Amino acid sequence: MAPVQVRGEVLSLRRLGDYFSLTLVAPGIAEGARPGHFIALAVGGDDSAMLLRRAFSIYRVQERGVYGGTVEIVFAVHGKGTAWLSRVSPHDPIDVVGPLGRPFALPKEPVTATLVGGGYGSAPLFALAEQLRGRGCRVDFVLGASSEGRLFGALEAKRMSTQVAITTEDGSLGERGRVTDVLPQMIERSGADIVYACGPMGMLKAVHRIATAYGAHSQCAVEEAMACGIGVCMTCVLPVTGEDGLTRMVRSCVEGPVFRGDRVRWDEIGTVPPDTVGAPAPVSTSPNGTAGERP
């Protein structure tokens, strides 16, 4: 389904630990949303000096009901844009574009899946778990964060899964450590066929490595900085190898945010690998940016 741009309206804003959950009335978005899709919000109002859209994974949607379609996201205050979002009130208008991106790929067979979320990166995994269970899959969760306040959805995960492991770096809840410390034994115990993950790049890279070591596929939803969310600005690129074996700098907003873990050049994110299609010749480019050019 093609994304739509709608003038949404704040239905509710709630505090959840260190995070916020924002529910927007945004007709036309819920209907086409699949787990892993995201929305891009304009922040700061019509005359905002913050031009760039903020992208958020969809936590959950409601297609109909008293208010028409609603969409819910979870966010942390990182900068001015999210600070503004943390101060909105019911009925405030917010321009919403979505659903955007490529969602998680779902297995055709009733496989065993492990879902790994770092911080509020777990948000899109619950809708995914529901769909997987609907297909007869076994679902386990591994959720991790720096501290208890930064865990998202631990109770929900327990309700939806066979097995849950919780890690915090300070040990305030669950095991002290990181998701990657407990993931190997989770996969061993369940015999997972596929690992779905959403969280920081470093976590995704490690999750993919572990999944591969245990012969499991991985589906990773990346978090790259985006300006537009719709595929026109070319800022959210990362090196990804295609089916033809060639690496290209691909847009995470339209070709992602979910990628097969084995396609992403994890070690080279933030660079243009020399064998990338169209990569500059090693000696001919100046290291100093000279561009006053358009993207």
Q: How far apart are CA 96 and CA 256, in angstroms?
A: 19
Q: Which of 10, 16, 105, 249 binds another protein (CB under 8 A)?
A: 249
Q: How far apart are CA 161 and CA 164, in angstroms?
A: 7
Q: How far apart are CA 205 and CA 220, in angstroms?
A: 9
Site membership for another protein, residue 293 (CB under 8 A): yes
Site pattern 184..213 for another protein (x: CB under 8 A): ------------------------------
Least CB distance from residue 246 to another protein, whole Å? 10
Q: Which of 110, 170, 191, 234 binds another protein (CB under 8 A)?
A: 234
Measured from the CB atom, is 98 or 118 closer to another protein? 98
Phi and psi for 254 in degrees, rounded to 5?
-110, -30
Q: How far apart are CA 55 and CA 227, in angstroms?
A: 9
Q: Residue 211: which residues within 8 A CB-CB, separation 6 or more?
A: 187, 192, 194, 195, 217, 218, 261
Q: Which of 22, 139, 237, 258 binds another protein (CB under 8 A)?
A: 237
- Which of 127, 18, 24, 141 is closest to 75 using CA atoms? 18
Site membership for another protein, residue 224 (CB under 8 A): yes
Within 55-74, the residues that bind another protein by CB under 8 A are none
Measured from the CB atom, is 83 or 232 closer to another protein? 232
Which range of residues in 9-17, 24-32, 174-182, 219-227 is near another protein by CB under 8 A? Answer: 219-227
